[in-house]
């Protein structure tokens, strides 16, 4: 039987450290599914594992793309499953680690299948958005798929402010003549592995302290200079993320540096809360406090294997 030991949890909780320890224990390789760490131009602000950490076990999908490439969760699913199948040819174990819930789900469950959309539709929607703004996309989705619009509004309202996601919803509706929601929750792809899902968590105050400390460390390591180098490309989709967006506003003269730093900490704390909410829905996950002795986690994995063999 092939196993995918999957480590989930909020940012700054210790997933990287645990993944390396487990990779060494089970003598296997690591697939990263942190969507912020795919890009080679972003290192400090995305908390890419250090050279020492990367040397601790073979890693895949870290800094393997450019911010100038259009890379979707569907692209990641195809590439990661191919790599996973390749690794499973010679090893019963692979580690999956990362804080991007959508990307974890794409590997564990498969992704909903959508038909190809004509590029002319994509351009039309993009042009309309550039002229009319996010309100146009919101109104279009509300009209073309009112059920899905209400679902987002209730469960994940910040998505309504995300132009990339909203353009995708609208282009599918227009390009197929069907509601976006009609393509969701179809039969998922079968997977040739058994997941063993480990969640890491901590008291909220501890999580928030760890996040604040991590941001301070990033600044000491040169986050400001990294963001300044990326500033000319600030409109790229890959850079619409916490840690860079706030500093871009500082460079634009909208905020002071002190305010920008506090905003990074605040927005990262909010991000971690959303991560935890998403991951807590994961079926069959076993949750551990982040300070749990590694041996206890390893024993749980071995016990799972014994009971499923």
pLDDT the model gives residue 102: 85
* pLDDT less than 70: residues of the chain: 111-112, 185-189
Domain covering 3-111+188-308, topology: Rossmann fold (3.40.50)
Q: Is 199 a known ligand-binding residue?
A: no
Q: What is the DSSP letter of 92?
A: S
Q: Is 9 a known ligand-binding residue?
A: yes
Inter-helix orientation angle 204-221/223-230, to 10°: 70
Q: Is 268 a known ligand-binding residue?
A: no
CB of 33 closer than 8 Å to CB of 77: no
Q: Return the CATH class of domain 119-183.
A: mainly alpha
pLDDT the model gives residue 83: 97
pLDDT the model gives residue 201: 97
Backbone angles phi, psi at 73, to 5 degrees: -65, -30
Q: Is 282 a known ligand-binding residue?
A: no
CB atoms within 10 A of CB 309: 6
SS3 content of the chain, % helix, strand, coil (to 5): 55, 10, 35
Note the pTM of the prediction, 2 decimals: 0.79
Helices within 145-196 (DSSP H only): 146-155, 163-176
Structure confidence by residue, pLDDT tens digits, 59-105: 999 999 999 998 888 889 999 999 999 999 999 999 999 988 889 98
33-45 b/e (C-beta count within 10 Å ≥ 16 → b): bbbbbbbebbbbb
pLDDT the model gives residue 306: 94
Bridge partner list, 60: 31
Q: Is 11 a known ligand-binding residue?
A: yes
Bridge partner list, 196: 5
Domains of the chain, residue spans: 3-111+188-308, 119-183
pLDDT the model gives residue 1: 92
pLDDT the model gives residue 186: 64
Q: Is 159 a known ligand-binding residue?
A: no
Q: Is 15 a known ligand-binding residue?
A: yes
Q: Is 90 a known ligand-binding residue?
A: no
Reported as half-sphere exposure (CB side, CA atoms, 13 A), residue 45 has a value of 29
pLDDT the model gives residue 308: 85
pLDDT the model gives residue 196: 98
């Amino acid at each position: 039987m092939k196993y995918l030991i999957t480590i989930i949890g909020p940012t700054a909780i210790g997933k990287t450290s645990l993944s390396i320890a487990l990779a060494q224990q089970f003598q296997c390789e690591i697939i990263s599914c942190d969507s912020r760490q795919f890009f080679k131009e972003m290192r400090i602000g995305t908390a890419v594992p250090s050279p020492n950490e990367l040397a601790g076990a073979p890693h895949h999908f870290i800094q393997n793309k450019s911010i100038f490439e259009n890379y979707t969760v569907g692209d990641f699913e195809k590439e990661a499953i191919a790599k996973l199948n390749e690794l499973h040819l010679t090893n019963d174990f692979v580690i999956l680690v990362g804080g991007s819930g959508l990307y974890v789900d794409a590997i564990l469950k498969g992704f909903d299948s959508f038909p190809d959309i004509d590029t002319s539709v994509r351009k039309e929607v993009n042009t309309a958005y550039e002229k009319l703004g996010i309100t146009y996309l919101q109104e279009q989705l509300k009209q073309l798929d009112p059920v899905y619009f209400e679902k987002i509004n209730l469960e994940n309202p910040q998505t309504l402010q995300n132009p990339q996601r909203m353009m995708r919803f609208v282009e599918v509706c227009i390009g197929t003549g069907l509601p976006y929601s009609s393509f969701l929750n179809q039969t998922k792809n079968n997977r040739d592995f058994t997941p063993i899902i480990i969640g890491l968590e901590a008291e909220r105050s501890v999580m928030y302290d760890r996040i604040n400390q991590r941001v301070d460390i990033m600044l000491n390591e040169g986050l400001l200079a990294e963001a300044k180098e990326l500033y000319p490309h600030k409109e790229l989709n890959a850079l619409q993320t916490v840690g860079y967006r706030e500093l871009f506003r500082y460079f634009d003269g909208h905020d002071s540096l002190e305010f920008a730093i506090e905003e990074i900490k605040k927005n990262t704390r909010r991000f971690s809360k959303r991560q935890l909410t998403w991951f807590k829905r994961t079926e069959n996950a076993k949750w551990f406090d982040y300070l749990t002795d590694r041996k206890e986690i390893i024993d749980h994995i071995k016990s799972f294997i014994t009971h499923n063999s």
